[in-house]
Amino acid sequence: MAPPLAGLFLESHPDPANAKCDGPSALPLAKLEQFLTQIKAIDDLVKSFDELDTEN
C-alpha cells in the first residue's frame, strides 16, 4: 500500500558508519538523490489514480 505522501522524515550522512549517532539508520548521502527521485515517482503514480470508493 502506498498512500500519497504528506511528509517524509529520514536521516542521511556522508559516512553512516562513522556518524556520531544513528549511523545504522542513516541513508548514505550519495544515495539520497536517487532515493528521493524514486519516492517522488511512486508518490506521483499513487496520486494519479482516482480515489477508490470503498463504502459501497
Residue 56 is predicted with a pLDDT of 78
- For the stretch 4-50, pLDDT in tens is 778 889 999 999 999 999 999 999 999 999 999 999 998 899 889 99
Spatial distance between the Cα atoms of 26 and 6, rounded to a whole number of angstroms? 21
Q: Does pLDDT of 51 surpass 90?
A: no
Residue 2 is predicted with a pLDDT of 63
Residue 1 is predicted with a pLDDT of 59
